[in-house]
């Protein structure tokens, strides 16, 4: 029997509620979801003219109409299927050859709202719309792959006969030094220190990397170069014999007071003798072949914006002039075949013309003049092609300061379009990752880079939330430490600038060769090695926070990238302290175990590589999110405080119902980790869990 209460007899609250229900209906915003993964766009990366199903999920019988809006069209969608919790609406877009932007319109009673990458919104902002770029996809092998970055000189010394020797040559005004104690900490002015790590050393440690679960090795530069970091390339065609093989080793060392390289005959012999260069390339070939045999891919570092003053094209140091087997460099002679490779401001200063453009004004880093030299332009395109082709078969490139190349943005974009054609034409499965700070959207439209080193949508938000520290340890922000809402809002905004093929291969790092070690950031201390000293980087660190960070890294969309030594507790302020030698024999076994187990979990569940993500819970120092696909549903929850916390998570939002149970896969804490089976039950769509201080828990729906 229905009882009708006259409107004038309702309470004020009841009147307001009745008005809202009549006027707008009740929309369950948390039930609504769509994205560009294979769960909600089929195919996720369509080709031109390929019919593409797009899907959106709403609460079961919760909305009246859903429209797909694109290309000035508004198409009413039908319910494709339903389950106990949701209705799934779908429609088809045929994208043609041009990119297509789309969003959804949802109606409930008189309420009208929209859904795009920002979520449920009242007004459409095209900035956050979904986008289909026909024909743009990234290599499947790289999607969600576990990468490992190696700074070669500091990883492992496998061949002591190729070590840089003390006084072998002069670098930036002073002779170089051979470091004989592997565990010595880098000096403040450590630009001339060489520890002896090499390609043979990486080969020797492939068992370790394979056991860790590494799927891709990213090498910092390995081509001939006078520095330990090798971002000042001397010869793009050959591996540095100090990383490779030295067959002919003649000549003399310099005196400790030398200031030039004109008599650096040992160095000249080592890096210019063809037999050394070819033997080094042969060793590199053997390394890649062995890595591939273990199903490990290898990516090179390409430094194409600038070279180094030692480079044979400019030869400011007279390395090649004094070998007598090479054409004159552009610094020495106006008639050099490489004259056009650089921009000289003084046209009458030869010989020894020092008036050339240097990157950021550094004369040790001559900027390459692509606009003035089609020969240079084509040469670098060939270099891009060479190393991903037979016989070397590298699997891609990381591009240093890629947005700086050229003198205008327009030229920069044109170069990378041609570079992509060259590299992908030689090896369609090659990956192109750029170093870039800021919005990468202009470069990841399918015609230039595949993706970027993910600072804005990974490293920085994770660092601010978990540590409150800036990525160089130059600033502490207590307002961002534990600020869960800022974390999710930042991630939502910055992830929206990626198209899904780019997001799934984005390089998600906690540390790298340019920033302080993440473990050092957990001490909440502002400093650098020159202000605090090396040992201060190890004081007050928190292994629990480090493991929280790794839990995020291994469960977040993108390619988690470990900076060598992070997995065993290496600390360090920013450059040069972040380039400490790998502590073989002194590894933190607890941290290493956490990495191994989290990597194993990532590789076992496809949802963590290419599945959907939804933010489930945010409060101070606590975040939770879900990852899922057709095969599995996983929950990740972190407590970044020093107190035990109890939370209730709305797991129904990723399709986990009261009929489901969850099992813990791993729990990390400050003291250790656990993989013991623990079962969680769902009540009214929520899961209650108690979290230990500085802990992370990963769980999944259990199959009985």
Q: Which helix (H) or strand (E) holds 520?
A: helix 518-521
248: which residues sit within 8 A by CB, 6+ positions away?
269, 270, 273, 275, 276
Give the integer Cα–Cα distance in Å for 654 and 31.
9
Beta bridge partners of 52: 93
Structure tokens at 50: 């390929």
The span from the CA of 245 to the CA of 241, in Å, is: 5
Apex 699 CA angle, 501 and 626, nearest 5: 40
With contact defined as beta carbons under 8 Å apart, do 482 and 640 qualify?
A: yes
**How is 418-442 classified by DSSP, letter by letter?**
HHHHHHHHH-TT-EEEE---S--GG
Nearest alpha-carbon partner for 105 in 138, 129, 132: 129
Evaluate the CA torsion angle 466, 467, 473, 477 in order and state its sign: positive
Q: Pick the catalytic residue: 301, 332, 400, 653?
A: 400
CA distances for 228 relative to 219, 299, 646, angstroms:
13, 19, 49
Contact of 297 with 213, CB cutoff 8 Å: no
What does 537-568 look like in DSSP terms, one character per residue? GGTT--HHHHHHHHHHHTTSSSEEEEETTGGG
CB atoms < 10 A from the CB of 335, how many? 10
Helices and strands: H and E segment counts in the chain: 15, 33
Phi, psi of 16 (to 5 degrees): -65, -45
Angstrom distances, CA of residue 73 to CA of 34, 63, 67, 632: 19, 21, 9, 35
* Region for residue 61 given its phi and psi (left: phi exceeds 0; alpha: psi -120 to 50; beta: otherwise): left
Complete edge-to-edge strand list for the sheet that includes strand 396-399: 451-452, 431-434, 396-399, 297-302, 216-219, 147-150, 559-563, 507-509
Structure-token match 């095969």, residue found: 631
Q: CB of 331 within 8 A of CB of 356?
A: yes
Active site residue 400: yes
Instruction: Report the distance separating Cα 152 and Cα 160, nearest Å.
Output: 14
Which of 87, 240, 435, 566 is catalytic? The answer is 435
474 is known as an active-site residue: no
Task: Decide if 266 contacts 165 (C-beta within 8 A).
Answer: yes
Structure tokens at 697: 């828990």
Active centre residues (catalytic): 400, 435
């Amino acid at each position: 029997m229905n009882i009708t209460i006259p409107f004038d007899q309702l309470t004020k609250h009841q009147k307001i509620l009745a008005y809202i229900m009549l006027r707008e209906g009740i929309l369950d915003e948390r039930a609504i979801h769509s994205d560009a993964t294979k769960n909600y766009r089929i195919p996720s990366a369509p080709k031109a003219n390929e019919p593409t199903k797009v899907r959106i999920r709403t609460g079961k019988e919760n909305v009246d109409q859903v429209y797909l809006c694109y290309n000035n069209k508004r198409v009413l969608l039908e319910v494709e299927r339903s389950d106990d919790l949701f209705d799934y609406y779908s429609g088809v877009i045929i994208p043609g050859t041009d990119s297509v932007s789309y969003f959804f319109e949802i109606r409930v009673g008189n309420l009208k709202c929209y859904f795009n990458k920002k979520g449920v919104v009242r007004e459409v902002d095209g900035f956050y719309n979904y986008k289909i770029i026909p024909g743009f996809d990234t290599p499947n092998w790289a999607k969600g792959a576990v990468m490992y970055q190696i700074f070669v000189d500091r990883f492992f010394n496998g061949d002591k006969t190729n070590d840089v020797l003390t006084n072998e040559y002069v670098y930036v005004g002073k002779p170089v030094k051979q470091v004989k104690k592997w565990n010595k900490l880098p000096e403040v002015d450590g630009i001339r220190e060489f520890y002896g790590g090499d390609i043979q050393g990486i080969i020797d440690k492939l068992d370790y990397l394979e056991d860790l679960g590494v799927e891709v090795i990213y090498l910092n530069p390995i081509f001939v170069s006078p520095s330990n970091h090798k971002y000042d390339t001397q010869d793009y065609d050959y591996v540095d014999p100090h990383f490779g093989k030295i067959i002919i080793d003649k000549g003399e060392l310099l005196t400790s007071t030398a200031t030039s390289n004109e008599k650096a005959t040992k160095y000249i012999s080592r890096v210019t003798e063809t037999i050394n260069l070819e033997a080094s390339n042969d060793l590199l070939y053997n390394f890649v072949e062995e890595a591939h045999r273990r199903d490990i891919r290898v990516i090179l570092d390409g430094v194409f914006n600038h070279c180094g003053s030692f480079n044979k094209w400019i030869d400011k140091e007279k390395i090649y002039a004094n070998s007598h087997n090479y054409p004159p460099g552009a610094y020495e002679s106006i008639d050099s075949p490489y004259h056009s490779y650089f921009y000289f401001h003084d046209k009458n200063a030869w010989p020894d013309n020092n008036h050339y453009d240097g990157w950021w004004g550094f004369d040790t880093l001559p900027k390459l003049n692509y606009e003035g030299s089609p020969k240079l332009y084509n040469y670098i395109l060939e270099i891009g092609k060479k190393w991903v082709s037979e016989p070397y078969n590298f699997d891609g490139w990381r591009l240093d300061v890629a947005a700086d190349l050229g003198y205008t943005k327009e030229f920069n974009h044109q170069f990378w379009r041609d570079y992509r054609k060259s590299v992908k034409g030689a090896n369609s499965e090659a990956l192109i990752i750029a170093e870039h700070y800021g919005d990468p959207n202009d470069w990841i439209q399918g015609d230039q880079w595949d993706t970027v080193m993910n600072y804005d949508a990974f490293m920085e938000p994770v660092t601010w939330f978990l540590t409150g520290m800036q990525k160089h340890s130059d600033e502490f922000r207590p307002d961002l430490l534990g600020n869960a809402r800022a974390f999710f809002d930042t991630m939502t905004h910055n992830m929206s600038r990626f198209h899904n093929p780019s997001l799934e291969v984005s390089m998600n790092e906690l540390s790298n060769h340019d920033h302080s070690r993440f473990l050092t950031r957990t001490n909440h201390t502002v400093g650098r090695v020159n202000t605090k000293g090396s040992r201060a980087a190890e004081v007050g660190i928190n292994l629990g926070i480090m493991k929280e960070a790794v839990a995020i890294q291994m469960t977040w969309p993108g390619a988690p990238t470990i900076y060598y030594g992070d997995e065993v507790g290496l600390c360090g302020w920013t450059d040069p302290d972040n380039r400490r030698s790998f502590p073989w024999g002194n590894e933190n076994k607890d941290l290493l175990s956490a990495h191994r187990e989290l990597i194993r979990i990532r590789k076992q569940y496809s949802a963590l590589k290419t599945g959907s993500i939804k933010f489930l819970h945010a409060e101070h120092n606590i975040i939770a999110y879900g990852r899922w696909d057709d095969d599995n549903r996983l929950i990740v929850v972190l407590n970044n405080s020093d107190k035990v916390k109890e939370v209730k998570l709305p797991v129904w939002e990723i399709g986990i119902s009261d009929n489901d149970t969850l099992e813990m896969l791993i729990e990390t804490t400050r003291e250790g980790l656990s993989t013991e089976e623990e079962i969680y039950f769902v009540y009214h769509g929520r899961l209650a869990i108690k979290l230990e201080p500085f802990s992370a828990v990963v769980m999944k729906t259990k199959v009985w």
